[in-house]
Structure 1
Amino acid sequence: MFETLRRDLRFYTGLARTLGRVRGIAPDSPRRICDDLEASARKWPDREAIRFEGRSLSYREMDGLANRFARWALESGLRPGDRVALFLPNRMEYLPAWYGLSKVGVVSALVNNQLTGQALAHCLNLANAQEVIVDPETSPALQAVLGNLEKGPRLWSLEAPLPGEGDLMALLSGLSDAPPPASAREGLTAHDTALLIYTSGTTGLPKAARVTHVRVQLYMRGFAGATGARPDDRIYVALPMYHATGGLCGMGAALLNGACVVLRRRFSATQFWSDIRQEDCTLFAYIGELCRYLANQPPHPDERAHRLRLAFGNGLRPDVWEDVIGRFGVPRVLEFYGSTEGNVSMFNFDGRLGAIGRIPRVVKQRFNARIVRFDYEVEAPQRGAGGFCTEAAPGEAGECLGRIDAADPRAEFSGYLDKAASEKKVLRDVFAPGDAWFRTGDLLRQDADGYVYFVDRVGDTFRWKGENVSTAEVALRLQAVPGVVEANVYGVAVPGADGRAGMAALVTEEGFDLGMLATRIAVDLPEYARPAFIRLQPEMEVTGTFKQRKVELVAEGFDPAKVAQPLFHRAADGGYRPLDAVAYEGISAGRIRI
């Protein structure tokens, strides 16, 4: 009873604090995210705002640098709605750049700094930017695709410019750090686009999501409230700034509360705990796989010698969650659910292990999210006899939908630059004629107490032998097997068989025993969910935000002519046998059953 009351108190306190910070946000308001950040600069001018590689900016200096970017945009002839692409790694100037450009209505396209070739050219062409800003780390990749760009943007570098690139830092140093003229923001509202943020491209080329000032305010103000950060906090951010979790949630938690962001160029599992201790950090932002990398490291002398009081982020699996709290001694984990382009968000304020959020029945109407029954055959929400969807029962997995309401800033859906892609994410006539709901593409389930759990991505769940198999749940079981470092599970087509058979790409420790894996999964997984194929590889291919890539693995399947790494198939006795060209031909011809 006491534990229930304690959890309820923590949940409702966190909810009230978060809602209090986002109150007053409105699409037609002239107050935009740049106004929120300017207010911080006025309130805490001399406090340290951003610390990066031994250098730091105070709030006053951060705002002054942003003003220089704004004045550069005006002097370059940029107008509200024009676009500048930031193709940069994490660095001191990243947030001041887009913050400053937003002051004069210019949209920043935050391009993944790890992209090269076709994917990079695709993202830059989508942005249709007049200017592209790079630095020495990203410039070579940009130079390599210039011939594939549909538009010839002007190129600028923040240091050591190559031929054809302007010296932006030299130009900025000659500009005033005073605010741009008030006339530059006349007529601008929170409904205007602030940023373009790209989807991760795990299953294809990235899409560019339009992120309005309203959406940025919800992210940054929401996490300023949800984390309860204080001016004396130091928040460690090693996630990429082109992604919402690090670049908006982490930065908002700090910069709208007068705290300091300890920014790193990139995440390092071996350096993490030393950084945390040396910088005296009190909070850190995570993606689930970041914490898994930490859990897979040998014990570090500093992993408990810290003042961390909160880790916040999304995608943390229960087994790693226990390590964060138990092994690393972080008192609280704040897991949240949301997506860059989506209109659904929720928080697990009270720390229920494994839950991504909570929607208690008594406040359900305050949330625009619903979990509806799902048809796995057509990979779409299930329609009843009347043509409408029905909510999933407690414990039943279904797709999460978000009600679209242009009048409610928390329920807006701004979509992608590609209108056709935007329309594919909208489901109409869901519960009533004429209503519209955003398809998250995530399968979730909710228990009787209102806690919500992630099940899988739509499309990652596949059918085999008439049963639905969740790749996320199978991966969780595989990662519990001794010697398995990482597991990426997906379905592959098998000639002559209905559905898709399970396959797992594994990163393993030296001396890994496939026999042990077969024995464990025979106990932990039903027969239909046990991977038919195993692929061993030295490391996992991931996106810049640590999401596992599957599209290439699915395309290569279990064909040894396409896969250089060791392959195995599950035999009739449940053990795994090497999969060579002869075995592949036998499976394809139906002589070897899986």
Structure 2
Amino acid sequence: MAASPLSQPSPRPSSTSGWIGALERTARIDAQPERIFPRVIDELAARHGAAPALIGTDETLSHRELAARQNRYARWALDLGLAKGETVALLMTNRPDFLAIWLGITRVGVRVALLNTNLRDRSLAHCIDVAAPRILIADRELAEAVASAEPHLVKRLDIVWQGMGADGASLSEAAAGYSEAPLQDGEGPAVGVRDEALLIFTSGTTGLPKAARVSHHRIMMWTHWFAGLIDAGADDRMYNCLPLYHSVGGVVAPGSVLLGGGAVVIRQKFSASAFWRDVTESGATMFQYIGELCRYLTVAPPDPFERRHALRLCTGNGMRPDVWERFRDRFAIPRILEFYAATEGTVSLYNVEGKLGAVGRVPSFMARRSPALIVRHDVETGLPLRDAAGRCVPAEPDESGELLGRLSSKAEHSFEGYTSAEETSRKVVRDVLQPGDAWMRTGDLMRRDVQGFFYFVDRIGDTFRWKGENVATNEVAEAIGNCPGVIEASVYGVAVSGAEGRAGMAALVIGPDFELEALHAVLAERLPAYARPLFLRIVPTFAHTETFKQKKGALAAEGFDPSRIRDVLYVCLDDRYRRLDPSLFKEICEGKLRL
């Protein structure tokens, strides 16, 4: 089955139908507090039986087999003596068994901490210590990672291995003898939607990862809400190459499709060269993206399979405007559903209409239900700006400010926080609009246009101030992305001796057709003078987190000193970029050159 090439963008679908579908799917969650997602998996097994549910590289599980496996793991956990409220850590690569394990263990009230398979040594030990698990379930393929962390652990771990080893023992063998039938009432503790299910770690782009608490209610809301938005059906297959230890790849993408009776195509990782062939041959109808994956595909060489797929929808977050149209038109994508959310967040936004570059909109009939508020941001303090009465100041239309999420006693508007009480308290701001109210800080700068569409501007901390003006690194990176020959750009602020604020600097990965003059012309056309990067650094590649976020910290710390940096550097002087050498650097530091 192949998609027909698109000569023009498809008409926008009805936004009302998407919202109504999401509302209908989530309507019963609070009314059935004992109906957690593992119970839903049992319901799906009875309904869809032998239809495929999880399609991995090495095995495929039907809906019935997924339910059977989760129930065996649940009974194994009970027999092991794991008690409600205790924690099990899970370190496993992308595969169907990953989902079956956490579904089964959380079914009996045990919390599962999903560990990042890319971490090693002290970073991995930190995450394990934060979770404080009673046992660690680890993939034998990751034995080296476990060994690297063990010397740094506060407490020795009991490890249960999954996969064949020298002794032949594995979790799957230990659980094989248990019943695969749904658990009966009274078999194990009572578990409801308000109980904790998972610990999911942040990416740790600005420090060590934090463990966000995720309740069964949050899992039910994520999965059912997205199932309604994407209108998942039994014929759908979601292509998922995102890490299963994160909320989107491990909960939203698989859960939303399983609810409709469809299947999830699980891959170990993203491969730009193999992507379109795999999507086509797997019969995928949907793709869960992170914006950087789409950008990688748009700069990849032509692929004979890139317009032969059956995709009807791509959904995800972080699709930059400069990538959106190229991705849609080159690969004949009928519909893009961009959204904004965070694992620990209380506010989420959905671009159901497909508005170019927007992360979402709150329709009028949802306005009272929405917790979203944008307030003015003080770049100097990094906090919301307060007026004379001590209240935060709502941003005007098209004015950038920090997005806040209102907190209340309703489960969907409660901040479940982190394992660290200190980290949790840092995210809460009070007396925002009236005395005693409480809101969660997202740490993201947004703007809202007169039509009500929200646009991501930047992360707080990435924005810097130069020449008395605030500069959003994300917007500068988008402008640079329109320059021929730029493969990837990272923008950040650097301190300049004798100057207030931070000057803009861009690290670039470039192709053979890159020209400095062309870059300068593009920036002069698209950006005000204060926002144009004063310094350039040509790098061979970037370091990224596992969710493809750029690691800017080391680049910003190195600044623009040619004695510390082996990469080629440039500075903008006299309206053109010139090679930055030690003598020119010295003149800048001594204040002899006007920047």
TM-score (norm 1): 0.95
Name the residue aligned to 1:585: 586
Matches of 1:86 and 1:107 in 2, distance apart?
Answer: 10
Matches of 2:565 and 2:230 in 1, distance apart?
Answer: 45
Name the residue aligned to 1:424: 426
Matches within 5 A, 1:301-320: 301-320=304-323
Indicate if the aligned counterparts of 2:291 and 2:318 stay in contact, CA closer than 8 A: yes
- Structure 1 residue 409: Cα displacement: 2.2
- Does residue 298 (structure 1) correspond to residue 298 (structure 2)? The answer is no
- Does residue 144 (structure 1) correspond to residue 145 (structure 2)? The answer is no
Indicate if the aligned counterparts of 2:94 and 2:267 stay in contact, CA closer than 8 A: yes
Instruction: State the AA in 2 paired with 1:410.
Output: E
Name the residue aligned to 2:324: 321
SS in 2 for 1:182: coil
Indicate if the aligned counterparts of 2:88 and 2:134 stay in contact, CA closer than 8 A: yes
Matches of 2:564 and 2:34 in 1, distance apart?
Answer: 56
Matches of 1:381 and 1:88 in 2, distance apart?
Answer: 40
- Does residue 63 (structure 1) correspond to residue 67 (structure 2)? The answer is yes
Name the residue aligned to 1:14: 18
- Does residue 401 (structure 1) correspond to residue 411 (structure 2)? The answer is no
- Structure 1 residue 142: Cα displacement: 1.3
- Structure 1 residue 511: Cα displacement: 4.6
Matches within 5 A, 1:241-280: 241-280=244-283
Residues 11-31 of structure 1, C-alpha deviations (whole Å, 9 max, x = no match): 111111111111122399222
Matches of 1:40 and 1:513 in 2, distance apart?
Answer: 56
**Equivalent of residue 113 in structure 2, options 109, 112, 123:** 109
SS in 1 for 2:96: coil
Distance change >3 Å, CA 166–CA 537, structure 1 → 2 = farther
Indicate if the aligned counterparts of 2:232 and 2:259 stay in contact, CA closer than 8 A: no
Name the residue aligned to 2:539: 537
Unaligned runs of at least 5 residues, structure 2: 1-9
Matches within 5 A, 1:100-249: 100-161=104-165, 167-180=170-183, 182-249=185-252
Residues 453-501 of structure 1, C-alpha deviations (whole Å, 9 max, x = no match): 1111111111001001010000000111100011111111222211111
Unaligned runs of at least 5 residues, structure 1: 1-5
Instruction: State the AA in 2 paired with 1:565.
Output: D
**Equivalent of residue 389 in structure 1, options 388, 392, 399:** 392
- Does residue 510 (structure 1) correspond to residue 512 (structure 2)? The answer is yes
Name the residue aligned to 1:574: 575
Farther off after superposition, 173-182 or 439-448: 173-182
- Structure 1 residue 319: Cα displacement: 2.1
Farther off after superposition, 339-348 or 118-127: 118-127
Farther off after superposition, 47-56 or 171-180: 171-180
Name the residue aligned to 2:501: 499
Instruction: State the AA in 2 paired with 1:541.
Output: A
TM-score (norm 2): 0.95
SS in 1 for 2:141: coil
Indicate if the aligned counterparts of 1:192 and 1:212 stay in contact, CA closer than 8 A: yes
Residues 54-92 of structure 1, C-alpha deviations (whole Å, 9 max, x = no match): 521101111111112212212222111111111111112
Indicate if the aligned counterparts of 2:42 and 2:182 stay in contact, CA closer than 8 A: no
SS in 2 for 1:196: strand
Indicate if the aligned counterparts of 1:27 and 1:191 stay in contact, CA closer than 8 A: no
Name the residue aligned to 2:80: 76
- Does residue 358 (structure 1) correspond to residue 361 (structure 2)? The answer is yes
Indicate if the aligned counterparts of 1:464 and 1:500 stay in contact, CA closer than 8 A: yes
Name the residue aligned to 1:466: 468
Name the residue aligned to 2:5: none
Indicate if the aligned counterparts of 2:295 and 2:327 stay in contact, CA closer than 8 A: no
Name the residue aligned to 2:372: 369
Farther off after superposition, 275-284 or 372-381: 372-381
SS in 1 for 2:491: strand
Residues 348-372 of structure 1, C-alpha deviations (whole Å, 9 max, x = no match): 1111111100123454212111111
**Equivalent of residue 446 in structure 2, options 444, 447, 455:** 444
Name the residue aligned to 2:6: none
Name the residue aligned to 2:481: 479
Matches of 1:28 and 1:415 in 2, distance apart?
Answer: 24
Matches of 1:304 and 1:430 in 2, distance apart?
Answer: 49
SS in 2 for 1:313: strand
- Structure 1 residue 184: Cα displacement: 4.4
SS in 1 for 2:228: helix
Matches of 1:7 and 1:331 in 2, distance apart?
Answer: 9
